[in-house]
Each structure stands twice: as structure tokens, then as C-alpha cells.
Amino acid sequence: MMVDPRIVETYNVGKEGFIVALSEALGVPALIDQCLTSPTGRPLEIPYGVLAMMMMVNMCDDHRPVYKLNEYYEYRDLEGLFHYPISLEQINDDRFGGFLDLFHAANCRNIFTQIAAKAITLYGIRIKNINFDTTSKVMWGNYETEEGVLGVIKIDFGHSKDKRNDKKQIKYGIGCANGIIVDAIVLSGNKDDKKYNLDTLETIDTTLTNLKVNKEDFYYIADSALFTKDNLDVASKKEIKLITRMPDNVLEAKAAINEAVNILKELKIVTIQNAKGELLTYKQLEKTCEYNGHSLKLAVCYSESLKTTKEKSVAKQ
């Protein structure tokens, strides 16, 4: 039988179906509809949950800008993919821009942690600690308005993790548990990491509640930017246990390091297997100290495997 190609529509389907199926399994569209849809508003042409999946599919695949999403979906079976009748004429940047405004107003960070909690529960992952850190993303171009401010965060100069101090940037604050991102927030480019940790500790109860994490078994882990009196005060008030690195310029850290150096041969030896299966040997000193009214437990670690590297660093200096 001969088929006239002029009357046959063809579509490409790759990873898009997997992304949609995974989103639906995690309840992403239903949660976003619940958080963004007004019970008294007019019926939506496209539900917000579907708009969210349309953006996620694009970001995970081709990552076209919002104003080119209609081009991205031109040869895709929209109704078959998203299980909702959608025409190309309905796909425009105004629609997605309005969705993003509502998404931000509905507290996108809280929505994200709820989705992460669903994934944690669905796949039976137990969370006992979360590693918090920031990263930066260089921004190109000008971001000025008549008022001089654009949006709720500031695209500005700051400490660049990309080593591009000549460029403005934004920052991300990310919390990972077992390699899975469970907390995320977009920050101004000049946001101080110490203040980020303080803000995160202030709101940690909501995150732990969403993730169904018991405080008694939980540890908040971050780099030395976490070690400030304000952060210790808030953590103590909220009964949150911290693991961090005490900066070398703190008197208590200097005293502990000097003590370890003086009894280096007598220190306890600890062997740890790394991700590559290699056995690494450390010498360790454990002690306690008082810092601004807080009782802390310290561990000084000396790495035998890094001895040669450190000797070269000292010689270079």
C-alpha cells in the first residue's frame, strides 16, 4: 500500500518520555498545580504542572531559551508526551514567564524540597546528614534597569568559584544527601557563604520536616564558612549538630594543631578506604574545647599520603 507522505506527521521522541514519566511518578505536576493554581481563578489553558514539565524536558535535552520553546516542540507529539491537549500557538515566552513569577511567589525552594522528599521516600533512601555548599555561575551582559535593580537577587561581583572575578555572577546554595540534591536556592552574586549558612540554619526546620528527617540523627555539614559564632548560636538553639572545619586562624585550632605536632608519633592511626578502593592512612588527635560559650569536639588529622605534596608546598613558599 502506498502512503502519501504529505498527509503523515512525524515526531521525534527520545529521553523526553522518560523525563515526563519520572516527573509524574514523583508527583511533580500535581504538587506544582496544588501550590500555584488559584481556586477562584479562570480555568487554565495549560496546567502549571504541565508547563513545568515542558521546561524541564527542554532543559534536560536541548536547553533552548524560553522564547524558542515553540521551535523545540515543533516536531514533538505534545499531547502524547504530556497527556494534555497543547498547540504550538499556545507556547510562548509570556506564558512561561508568568508561570515562573508564580513559581517564585509560591516559594520554589519549599516546593523543591517536597519533591526531593517524595523521591527519597519512593526509593527508600535514608538521610542522616546534608552537605551544604555554594557555587557560582558567571553571567554575561548588562543587567541594569531604570531603577538599577533587577529581580529579587542581585547579579553582581563576588567570590567566583569559576576564577572569573572580572565578571558578574549569581550563586547557588545546594544541599546534598547521599549524592542527591535535596535543597537548592538561587543567591545574589555577592552573597557571603557565612550568611548563606546562617539563613539556611534559620530555615532548616522546614527542610527537615519536608524530608521527614529526625533531628536526633541529623548532621549539618559545610566548609569553614559555617564556623562562626552566629551559626553556632543558631544551631545550638535549634539543637542541630554541625560538622565543619575550624579555620586555622582560630586560637583553639592553632593550639590543637600544635599539640598534635608535638605528639605526632603517639597519635592514633586510622585507615579509611576512599571511593577508588585505595586505603588511606591518617594520624588523628581528638579533644574538646570551649569556643564562645559552645563545647566543641575537635579532630586533628594528619595525612601520611599528602606528606610529599605538603613538603613541596612549604618549599615553594
- For 253-309, what is each residue's pLDDT tens digit? 999 999 999 999 999 999 988 888 988 889 999 999 999 999 999 999 998 778 888
pLDDT of residue 171: 94
Q: Once rounded to an integer, what is the mean pLDDT over residues 308-313?
A: 88
Inter-residue contact 135 to 173 (CB < 8 Å): no
User: Scanning the structure block, which residue is given the C-alpha cell 546562617?
Assistant: 198
| 260 strand-pairing partners | none
Helix (H, G, I), strand (E, B) or coil at 96: helix
Q: Once rounded to an integer, what is the mean pLDDT over residues 82-103?
A: 93
Residue 84 has pLDDT above 80, yes or no: yes
The burial of 290, by beta-carbon neighbours within 10 Å (0-12 exposed, 13-18 middle, 19 or more buried), is given as exposed
Sign of the dihedral through C-alpha 156, 162, 163, 166: negative
Sketch out the chain's domains with CATH numbers.
10-106 (no CATH), 126-245 (3.30.420.10), 246-317 (no CATH)
pLDDT of residue 255: 94
For 153-161, which contacts have Cβ atoms below 8 Å and span 24 or more sequence positions? 153/186, 153/187, 153/188, 153/189, 154/188, 154/189, 154/190, 155/188, 155/189, 156/188, 156/189, 156/190, 157/189, 157/190, 158/188, 158/189, 158/190, 158/191, 159/193, 160/136, 161/134, 161/135, 161/136
* Cα dihedral: 146, 151, 153, 156 (round 10): -30
pLDDT of residue 38: 83
Indicate the pLDDT class of residue 7, thresholds 50, 70 and 90. Answer: confident
Say how far apart CA 267 and CA 261 lie, in whole Å: 9
Reported as a single tens digit per residue, the pLDDT across 182-237 is 999 999 999 999 999 999 999 999 999 988 898 998 999 999 999 999 999 999 99
268-273 and 180-188: which strand pairing? Answer: unpaired
Residue 10 has pLDDT above 70, yes or no: no
Indicate the pLDDT class of residue 94, thresholds 50, 70 and 90. Answer: very high
Reported as a single tens digit per residue, the pLDDT across 134-182 is 999 998 877 666 655 556 788 888 888 888 888 889 999 999 998 889 9
pLDDT of residue 121: 87
pTM of the shown model: 0.82
Inter-residue contact 136 to 170 (CB < 8 Å): yes
- More confident of the two residues 160 and 132: 132
Order of strands across the sheet that contains 241-243: 180-188, 169-177, 129-138, 219-221, 241-243
pLDDT of residue 63: 85
241-243 and 219-221: which strand pairing? Answer: parallel
Instruction: Please give the grid coordinates belonging to residue 7.
Output: 498527509
36-45, 71-80, 98-107: least confident range:
36-45
Alpha helices in the chain (DSSP H): 16-25, 28-36, 48-61, 69-72, 78-82, 93-105, 108-122, 193-202, 204-211, 229-238, 251-262, 307-316
